[in-house]
Structure 1
Amino acid sequence: MHADEADIDTALVRRLLAAQFPQWAQLPVERFPSSGTVNAVYRLGDDMAVRLPRIASGVPDVATEHRWLPYLAPQLPTGIPAVLGKGVPGDGYPWPWTVCSWLDGANPVVDRLTDPGQLAKELAEFVAALQRIDPAGGPPAYRGGPLSEVDAETRAAIAELDRLGMVDAAAATAAWEESLHAPDWTGAPVWLHSDLMPGNLLTADGRLTGVIDFGTMGVGDPAADLIPAWNLLPPDARTAFRDALGPDDATWLRGRGWALSMSLIMLPYYRDTNPAMADNGRHVIGQVLPA
């Protein structure tokens, strides 16, 4: 997916485990076909996973997760990964990596949700619980600042998609500018996951069972954690999600802006390398822009 990815395969994971965690070296190792873009994921035995950054920009996420996941987990209503081991560079692999608990469940699929209203309620409960956690000392969230921080990148993506004939540039720009000009957050910072994509959610029988991949977590504007309203939930459940969380109009509009910006940026980047991400980008654009 990226030009500068590390060379990672099952044999490397086995060698790293043998050298650094021999107690787990005899367990089965199987690459997991994740749609994630930052980490390669391998299932380790029945109840663990190995996550290795693919690219240098994902390396700081390892320390963030090791520091903050144990703090957040007891205060959340939904399962999140438990950190079990922190690997170090070795055998030609240049970065730290993680052994964590495996959470059962499947990623929810847009337009195939068993009970969208219930899932909206449980997502809202997770986001609200996260926001209630004391933010003191928390790192800045990856998407915790103002939308203006991604204005140039978003406009460049609109121009590229327009060139490819994949978006109505005028409509996309108008929707983006509406969110961009919404009043900025002036309240106290809150905890955010800040990447609540369907691929980072786990469900079973339609219920939310887990939230994974907290590398972008931190504190900031709560708007970024509203993105499931557009990247996953249908309109009725979107309304239920909003009603359960109660964001003001400006925060809701900024949340829509984050969902739109993320989708505009990822669609041209991943259209040939990550079908799941590209498809979700198209879905969000269709939800936000007028028909």
Structure 2
Amino acid sequence: MQMHADQLAVPVETVRELVDEQFPQWRGLPVRRVASDGTVNAVFRIGDRYGARFPLQSRDVESTRRWLAAEAEAARELAGRTRFRTPEPVALGAPGAGYPLPWSVQTWLPGVVATDEDPAGAVAFAHDLAEFIGGVRAIDTRGRTFGGAGRGGDLTSHDAWMDTCFRNSERLLDVPRLRRMWAALRSLPRGAAEDVMSHGDLIPGNVLVSDGRLAGILDVGGLGPADPALDLVSAWHLLDAGPRQVLRGDLGCDDLEWQRGKAWAFQQAMGLVWYYAESNPAMSRLGRRTLARIMADSSSP
């Protein structure tokens, strides 16, 4: 089932043709689709060293090219800045063979995503995750500030979207309670904290795990300045109560920052439950689990 009304089909035969035409040095490498719960790109492996990402939603060619170029620049900025592996840009492909958009190639990282090897109860993983977040925060913003329309700026700017989520969740969730929670969370002040560099989407599908430890981080193209609380969504998406407090302690979060991290996780989770209820059940379940953790937390409004 399609996740998006404007979703593009990306058959493996098309990818094979594009690779052969545009990157003849890889003609001898196998191309295979990667099973994924991701919602933005179709992912294919090219041999053992590379991964190709094809945007799933139709959009303007030039804006897509700029978006992919910005993702590649973000990946280069993050590479080697922490001890955890992240994908590095390799090439940008052009439209062709019936696929209408540019596409990208990155290095392939080995490991198992956290949706398949759940690290929720692992204290060592929580320490690793805090180390990664701290390492990203230490990257110089070079004067940049949050300038997007997504998560990471003003909580109240998401009110219209949240109202859409509440209306579409009435048969799925305890919406009256969730509305009350959002009314309290959205009003949390930003405080004096300046923007810091953030990954921006630390959900299980973007986290690689090995033997209960953090092995790598995927989907790094959203790296950029944002509310320091933004990457704390990972506390609610990835961790049970005990390890969650370990992460908080390692990062030294005060009450306001911690609650704002919860608010960003709440905002993200509300959109996952209903939007992907039929088309991507794994993402919908992630939203439900995150909301359940937030509602069970004693400090929740």
**Distance in 2 between the 1:88 and 1:72 partners?**
25
Q: Deviations over 1:100-129 (max 9, x none)?
A: 111011112489438611111101100110
| C-alpha contact (below 8 Å) 2:153/2:226 kept by paired residues | yes
Q: Distance in 2 between matches of 1:102 and 1:111?
A: 18
In the alignment, structure 1 residue 22 sits paired with structure 2 residue 27: no
RMSD (Å), alpha carbons: 2.0
The 5 Å alignment of 1:3-82 reads: 3-56=5-58, 59=64, 60-82=66-88
Within 5 Å, which residues of 2 pair with 1:177-256? 177-256=183-262
Question: Which moves more between the two structures, 270-279 or 136-145?
Answer: 136-145
Q: What's 2:95 paired with?
A: 89
> Counterpart of 2:17 in structure 1: which amino acid?
R
State which of 165, 169, 181 in structure 2 corresponds to 1:157: 165
Supply the AA of the counterpart residue of 1:161. S
Paired with 1:9 and 1:193, the residues of 2 have a C-alpha distance of 30
Give me the whole-angstrom Cα distance separating, in 2, the residues matched to 1:194 and 1:56.
23
The answer on whether the counterparts of 2:208 and 2:216 sit within 8 Å (CA) in structure 1 is: yes
- CA pair 185-45 structure 1, distance change in 2 beyond 3 A: farther
C-alpha displacement of 1:222: 1.5
Residues 23-32 or 84-93, more deviating: 84-93
Paired-residue identity, %? 37
Question: 1:134-145, aligned counterparts within 5 Å?
Answer: 134-136=140-142, 138=144, 140=147, 142-145=150-153
State the distance in 1 between where 2:45 and 2:180 align.
44
Separation in structure 2 between the aligned mates of residue 149 and residue 107 of structure 1, nearest angstrom: 31
The Cα shift of 1:286 comes to: 0.8
Moved more, 56-65 or 244-253: 56-65
Give the count of matched residue pairs.
Answer: 289
TM-score (norm 2): 0.90
Q: Given that residues 61 and 216 in structure 1 are in contact (C-alpha distance below 8 angstroms), is that contact kept between their aligned partners in structure 2?
A: no
Q: Distance in 2 between matches of 1:221 and 1:233?
A: 21
Post-superposition offset of 1:134 = 0.6
Deviation of 1:290 (Å): 4.4
| Residues 88-167 of structure 1 mapped to structure 2, 5 A cutoff | 88-109=94-115, 112-113=118-119, 116-136=122-142, 138=144, 140=147, 142-162=150-170, 164=171, 166-167=172-173
Mapped to 2, the partners of 1:62 and 1:11 lie a distance apart of 22
Query: Which SS does the other structure have where 2:267 is aligned?
Result: helix
The runs of 5 or more residues in structure 2 that have no matched partner are: none
Aligned AA (1:78): F
Change (3 A) 1:137 1:17: farther
Stretches of 4+ aligned residues off by more than 6 angstroms: none
- CA drift of 1:5 comes to 1.2
How far apart are the structure 2 equivalents of 1:256 and 1:168? 18
Contact 1:110–1:232 under 8 Å retained in 2: no
Judged with a 3 Å threshold, the aligned counterparts in structure 2 of structure 1 residues 101 and 118 are, in CA distance, closer, same or farther, namely same
